[in-house]
Structure 1
Amino acid sequence: MSEVILHAEKIDKSFVGTHAIDHVTLDFYKGEIHALIGENGSGKSTFTSCLTGIYHKDSGTFTLLGKEVNAKNQVDGNYQGVAIIVQETGTLSGLTVAENIFLGKEDEFTKFNVKNTKAMNKKAQELLNSYGFDYIKATDIIDKYNFEDRKLIEIVKATYFKPQVLIVDETTTALGEKGRKELFKVMKDVKDDGRCVIFISHDLDEVLEQSDNVSVLRDGEYIDTVKSSDVTTDDLKKLMVGREMSGNYYRADYGEPISDEVVLRGEHLTVPGEIEDFSIELHKGEIIGIGGLSECGMHEVGKALFGASYDREGTVTTADGTQIKDIKTAIDHSIAYASKDRSTESLVINDTIQDNITLPSLEDIKRNHILHAKDERAFAEKYAKQMSTKMVGVHQFMSALSGGNKQKVVLARWIGKNSDIIILDSPTRGIDIRVKADIYQMMDKMRKSGKSIIMISEEISELLGMADRIIIMKDGRQNGEFLRHEGLKDTDLIAKMV
C-alpha cells in the first residue's frame, strides 16, 4: 500500500436543517486517482468543498502529508496544497484569461504595489501553450470563450502550481471528447508524479476506467471503499442506493408512428461561428435528439430555437405562424429551454428554490390578478418534490444545493410551467443514476401526452435510448439523420460525428 497523502478524520458539516456530511473518515494515497461517488446530495461536493475552503467544516480534521489543512478559502487552500476544479463555472466574467488563472496570486507579479501585467500575460500564455491550449489567448476577456474552453482554463488555473491533491468535481460533464482527453491526461500526470486526484463523477463507466479506488457516500455518511478493478457498475449502483438497481432506463418501443403535425420549425438558422444553415421540424409527441462532438454547434441550436441567440439569422416559427425572435415570445408560446450551463443561463443562483421554480409561471399562479405567497409556495413545493429535490425547503437558496439538485430545480420549473415544447440541453448532466431514470420516464410520459421534446446530448446511449429521430451535427451543420430502430448502433452515430 502506498503512503497516505491525505487523511480526513470525522469530517462533519451541517447546513440549516441538513446534515450534509456526518463524521466521514477517509484516507487518500500518493500516486492514486480516488473516485468519490454517491447520489445527488450524498455529500461528495460538500466534503471536498470543506477541504478546499469553499465551506468551513463544523468539526474534524484534514491532514496533508502530516500537516493539518484548514483552508479559509480556495486561494488559501491552494497555498496549503489542495486545488479544485468545480462542477459549475469557476471563472469570473469581465476578467482576462490571465487574470482568472492567477486570481488571488497577483502578488507573484507585483513589485512595490505595481502589477506587471505584461509578465503575468506572458506566464499565462506559456502555461496555456504547455497544456496544448495555445488557441486560447491570455490577454482575451474570458467571456469570449465558451463553457468548455473556460473549463480548460480552470484546469490550468488549478494545476499549474502542482497541488498535492487535485479535486475534479463533475468536470467531465462540461467537456467534450477532446476536453475529456486533456483532463484525463492531467489527472494521469498528477498520479504519475506521486500526488493524488479525488475524482467525482456520475458516469460510473468513466469512474471505473479512470480510478484506482472508489469510495461511496450515501446521505452524508461513508459507506465503503472498493478497488475499481474488483467491481462492476452494478456493484457501485447498489452501494450508492442501498439496493439492486436495473440499468435499463430507456424506452423499449420501436417503430411508433410520429404525428404529421409540425409544432416548431427552424429554417436556415445561422449563428456566426456556431451554426450554419441549420433547419429542423419538430412534430407533436416527438423526441428529437441532437448529438455530435462538443464543439459541433449543437448547444447553440437550443438557444437559437428559444430566441436566445442575439445574432441569429433564419426563422423559428410555431404551428400558429408566430415568429420566435426573443425569449419572452418563446415562453408565451409554450416553449421551455433548459441550458447546459445551468448556473449562469438557467438559474438565479443567489435566489431561492421557490423563486427559481415559479419565475416563468407567476401569471399562471395569480388569482384575480393577485399573487398570493401561499399559492407561490405550494406551487414550488409541488414541483420540487415531484423532482425529488433534496432541500431544507423551497425557501433555501440555490447556491446551497448540489449540482444535481440544481438541475432538478431547472426541470421542476418547466414541468410546472407545463410547456408544450421542451428544449433540453444536456438534461442529465451531473445527475445520479436514480434521477436519470426518473427524467427519462418523465420525458416518455411527456411525449405520450402530446408534448414535443428536443434533447441535445453528448451521451450516445441517451440519444439511442430516448429519441424518435437523431440529428448529428458536425462543424455547425447537420451531418446525418437517423430514425429510431432497434438495429441502430453507436458506431452509426459516431461515423457522422468525426
Structure 2
Amino acid sequence: MSLLCVENINKTFVTTRALIGVTLKIEEGEIRGLVGENGSGKSTLVSIISGIIPQDSGEMFKHETPYEPRSLLDANSSRISIVVQEMGTIDGLTVGANLFLGEEKLSKKFGFINTSTLNKRSMQVLRRFGIKNIEPDADISSLSFEDRKLVEFAKALYIGPDLLIIDETTTALSQHGREILFREIERLKSENKSVIFISHDLSEVIAHCDSVTVMKDGEIVDTVSTHDLKERSLKELMVGRELQQTYYREDIEASYSDEVVLRVRDLTLDGTYYDISFELHRGEILGIGGLTNCGMHLLGKTLFGLESASSGSVDIVKRNKAIKNYVGAIANGMGYLPKNRDQEGLMLLSSIKENICLPSLSKIQRNTFISPRKERTLAESGARQLNIKMSSINQFCLYLSGGNKQKVTLAKWLVRDSDILILDCPTRGIDVAIKASIYTLIQELKEKGKGIIMISEELQELIGVSDRIILLKDGRMKKVFSRRKDLTEEEIIHYMI
C-alpha cells in the first residue's frame, strides 16, 4: 500500500516556477532518495509535504486519504516529520524546549511548564536515539551545528513518524552522527515506515536508499532502483548530459609562487587549537583538514578576524598588516566564506544585490551616498560571473537554492577582487554541477595569483584540489602533505585518527 501520493503539484515563487506538475508515490517501508541540482525543486517539494509551505495546485494523499497539512505541526499530527537543510532550532531556548516546542502541554502542571518534567522527558528522547552528549537544560545556541541537527533529528523521530524527511542533513554530521542517523533510518524501514532522503552525496544515496527520484528544473526526470545503480549514471541523469571529466585538477604536482602572501605564527586559541604556523603563497590552494572537531573551522574564523586568538599572529605580508578583526581583514584584501552560510554568510531577507555589494561599499559610494547605477552594475557583474540562477538581482536570498546562496557568498568577494580567500566547506550541501563549477572557479582564482585556504571535511576534495594539505589532529598540526599523484585518503586517515 502506498504511504504517500503526490499528484500534479505546482508551485511558483514570484516569477520562478519551482515545481511543475510533480507526481510522486512513496510506498510503505521504502527509503526513497531525492536528488537533483540546486534549484531543481527538492526542498520546495518536501516543504510542501511537511506543511511548511502550501502548494499552488495539486493534491496529496496519505494512505489514500486526502492529506492537506496547513503547518509543520499539522504534518506532525499526521505523523510526517522533517529535518530541514539549514538551522531548524530556535536560539534563546533550551534543548528540551526546542524538542517539545508546540507540545508544551505534555510538560505542564497547574497551567505552568514543569521544567523538571520537560528535562526528564527530553533526556529520555535523546538517550532513546543514542544521543548521549547533549543535556536537555543546555541553551541550544551553545551547541555546535552538528549537535543542533541531532536535536532536530530526535524531535523528528520522537513523534513516531510514518514518513521521515531528511533534507541534506548528513553534511553537518560527523561519522558518529551519521551512524545514529542511518541506524534510525534502518529501524524505521524495519517497522514498515518510510523515509525521503535528500543528499548531494550520491554514493550515500545509493548505499542507503531502495530507489531514487531525480528532479531537474522543478520536474521529475526519473525514478530508478538503486540495485546495481552506478554513481556516474545518476550524475548524468541529474545534469542531463554525459559527464566528460572529473571535478578535480588534472595537474599532478603542486604549483605556486615563492611569494608569501599570508604568514601565521604560533596561533593558539585555548581549548581549540595550539601553535599553528604556516605560510600561504601567491597562487596556492592550501587545504586544511581533519576530523570535524579538530579546530579547523574556528581556525578559519580566527584567520579572518572573527575570533580572537589567545596568542600568535596573522600577518598579510605584502601590506605588512597584522589581522586583528574582520574589518581589517576585508580592508586588506581578505574574503571569507563560512561553513554555515545562512547564519553567517548571508542576509537572507536582503536582496542578492545588497549581499553582493556589502563588502564593496567604497566602490559604489558617491560622497556618502550609494550610486544605484554602480550598485546594480557591480551586483550584475557578480551574478553573471557565478551564473546565479535568480529572477533578478532584487530577489531575496531567502528564496534561492542552497547552491545559488553559495554562489552569492562567493560573488561578493569576487567583485571586491580579494587577494586572499578563506573558504570553509565551499561545496557543502551543493549539487554535482555547481560543485564542479566551484572547483573550476577556485582553479581560475589560483591561476590569477590569489591565495586560497580551503577548509574541508572531505578528504577526496582536499586531495583533488589542494597544492598542500595541513592535517590537524586534536587542535595541533599533525602533518603537511604536498600534492602528488599517489597521495590517498588512506594515507591521510592514518595520521588523522
Which TM-score bucket, shorter chain as reference? over 0.9
Q: Distance in 2 between matches of 1:25 and 1:257?
A: 50
Distance 1:310 1:160, change over 3 A: farther
CA deviation vs aligned residue, 1:328-377 (integer Å, no higher than 9, x gap): 00000111110001111111111111111111011122346542112212
CA–CA separation in structure 1 for the residues paired with 2:109 and 2:309: 44
* Deviation, structure 1 residue 179: 1.6
* 1:163-182 residue CA offsets vs partner (Å, 9 max, x unmatched): 11111111011112222222
Q: Does 1:36 align with 2:34?
A: yes
Q: Deviations over 1:371-418 (max 9, x none)?
A: 211221221122123222221111111111122221111111111111
Q: Indicate the SS of the match to 1:296.
A: coil
The 3-state SS of whatever aligns with 2:188 is helix
Question: Cα distance, 1:106 vs. partner?
Answer: 1.1
Residue of 89, 114, 121 corresponding to 1:116:
114
The one-letter code matched in structure 2 to 1:173 is T
Per-residue displacement from partner, 1:212-258 (whole Å, max 9, x unpaired)?
10001110011110001142112112211211113511111123443
1:155-195 deviation per Cα after TM superposition (whole angstroms, max 9, x unaligned): 11111111111111110111122222221112112212211
* Equivalent of 1:68 in 66, 69, 74: 66
Classify 1:268/1:257 alpha carbon distance in 2 versus 1 (closer, same or farther; 3 Å).
same
Structure-2 separation of matches of 1:71 and 1:106 = 21
Work out the CA distance in 2 between the residues paired with 1:403 and 1:75: 25
Moved more, 376-385 or 217-226: 376-385
Residue 438 of structure 2 corresponds to 439
The equivalent of 1:238 in structure 2 is 236
Amino acid of the structure 2 residue aligned with 1:341:
N
Find the counterpart in structure 2 of residue 408 from structure 1: 407
CA contact (8 A) 1:88 1:403 kept: no
The one-letter code matched in structure 1 to 2:440 is Q
Structure 1: which amino acid aligns with 2:482? L
Contact 1:166 1:196 (8 Å CA) reproduced: yes
Paired position in structure 2 for 1:338: 337
Letter aligned with residue 346 of structure 1: G
Structure 1 residue aligned with 2:320: 321
Aligned to 1:152: 150
The verdict on how the C-alpha distance between 1:482 and 1:97 changes in structure 2, with shifts beyond 3 A counting, is: same
| 1:300-311 superposed matches below 5 A | 300-310=298-308
Q: How do 1:4-403 and structure 2 match up within 5 A?
A: 4-310=2-308, 312-319=310-317, 320-367=319-366, 370-403=369-402
Name the SS of the counterpart of 2:321 in structure 1: coil
Q: Percent identity?
A: 46
CA distance in 1, matches of 2:252, 2:237: 33
1:73-123 CA-partner distances (Å, limit 9, x unpaired):
212211121111111111111111111111111122124421111101111
Q: 2:254, 2:468 within 8 Å by CA — same for their partners in 1?
A: no
Q: Is this contact kept in 1: 2:4–2:63, CA < 8 A?
A: yes
CA distance in 2, matches of 1:262, 1:343: 32
- Whole-Å Cα distance in 1 between the matches of residues 24 and 245 of structure 2? 29
Write the distance in 1 (CA, Å) between the matches of 2:362 and 2:496: 42
- Asked whether the 8 Å contact 2:94–2:140 carries over to 1, the reply is yes
Q: Separation in 2 of the partners of 1:359 and 1:293?
A: 33
Offset at residue 273 of structure 1 (A): 2.8
Is the 1:288–1:453 contact (alpha carbons within 8 Å) kept by the matching residues of 2?
yes
Q: Check the 8 A contact 1:164/1:195 in 2, yes or no.
A: yes
Q: 2:335·2:418 contact (CA, 8 Å) conserved in 1?
A: yes
Task: Tell me if the contact between 2:302 and 2:309 (Cα under 8 Å) persists in the aligned partners.
Answer: no
Matches of 1:439 and 1:163, distance apart in 2: 37
1:33 and 1:213 in contact (8 A); partners too: yes
Alignment gaps of 5+ in structure 1: none
| Structure 2 segments unaligned to the other structure (5+ residues) | none
Q: Distance in 2 between matches of 1:267 and 1:68?
A: 64
Match of 1:469 in 2: 468
Q: Within 2, Cα distance between the matches of 1:148 and 1:476?
A: 18
> How far apart, CA to CA, are the structure 2 residues paired with 1:182 and 1:274?
25
The one-character-per-residue Cα deviations of 1:408-463 (angstroms, maximum 9, x if unpaired) are: 11111111111000000000111111111111111111111110100011111110
Greater alpha carbon shift after TM alignment, 19-28 vs 357-366? 357-366
Separation in 2 of the partners of 1:99 and 1:256?
51
Of residues 418-427 and 179-188 in structure 1, the stretch that sits farther from structure 2 once superposed is: 179-188
CA–CA separation in structure 2 for the residues paired with 1:351 and 1:225: 37
Distance in 2 (CA, whole Å) between partners of 1:8 and 1:187 is 22
Aligned residues of 2:254 and 2:483 also touching (Cα < 8 A): no
SS at 1:404 equivalent: helix
TM-score, normalised relative to structure 1: 0.97
1:345 and 1:313, CA in 2 relative to 1: closer, same or farther beyond 3 A?
Answer: farther
The answer (yes or no) to whether the contact 2:99–2:155 under 8 Å persists in 1 is yes
The answer as to whether partners of 1:215 and 1:224 remain within 8 angstroms in 2 is yes
Maintained 8 Å contact 1:337/1:422: yes
- For residues 241 and 78 of structure 1, the distance between their equivalents in structure 2, rounded to whole angstroms, comes to 34
Letter in 2 for 1:423: I
CA RMSD of aligned residues (A): 1.4
**Structure-1 separation of matches of 2:23 and 2:109:** 43
Cα distance between partner residues in 1 of 2:176 and 2:88: 20
Q: Secondary structure at the match of 2:179?
A: helix
Structure 2 counterpart SS, 1:281: strand
Q: Tell me, what secondary structure is at the counterpart of 2:227?
A: helix
Aligned to 1:425: 424
The TM-score normalised by the length of structure 2 is: 0.97
Q: Aligned partner of 2:181: which letter?
A: L
